[in-house]
Amino acid sequence: MSALREPCIGRFRRMLYADLKEVLSIERRAYEFAWTEGIFRDCIRVGYHCRVLETPHGFIQAYGVMSAAVGEAHILNLCVRPELQGRGLSRRLLEHLLEQARSLQARTVFLEVRPSNHRAARLYAAAGFCEVGIRRDYYPSAKGREDALVLAREL
């Protein structure tokens, strides 16, 4: 069975520098304004919780990056391979990151989302996140800048 036919089978593991070529390929296809290799390298280097979801054959389906300190966690990036979106992998990855946050004794998890990213906003609302603020002109966009909704969830 091909990796594309088994999107829910797999395991989470730490993201490695060796994964960055594939992660960057996914990132660039998923986002118009993608993270750079340097950003991912820095996240791994400083010890952020960088995770990939891969099939038993090593096919990366999704990845996430989260920082955690002093009772708080911040989900910085959550991405699913575009051709696998809509199959529950985002929810599974989010649940994994929330479990990681709990294990690190975080009491609150924060994240930002573009108001135009309706699918992500629905996912986060369904997972219990609530809007707690707005960061003006946070994201680059084709028309200049876009605000970010700041969401939080108590664990």
What is the set of active-site residues? 112, 124
What is the phi/psi pair of residue 83, to 5°? -75, -10
Q: Which two tokens stand for residue 148?
A: 């970010």
Q: Which residues are within 8 A (CB) of 53 and not within 5 positions of it... i.e. 6 or more apart? A: 10, 11, 12, 60, 61, 62, 63, 89, 92, 93, 96
Beta strands in 55-115 (DSSP E): 60-69, 72-80, 108-113
User: Cα 124 vs. chain centroid, distance in angstroms?
Assistant: 11
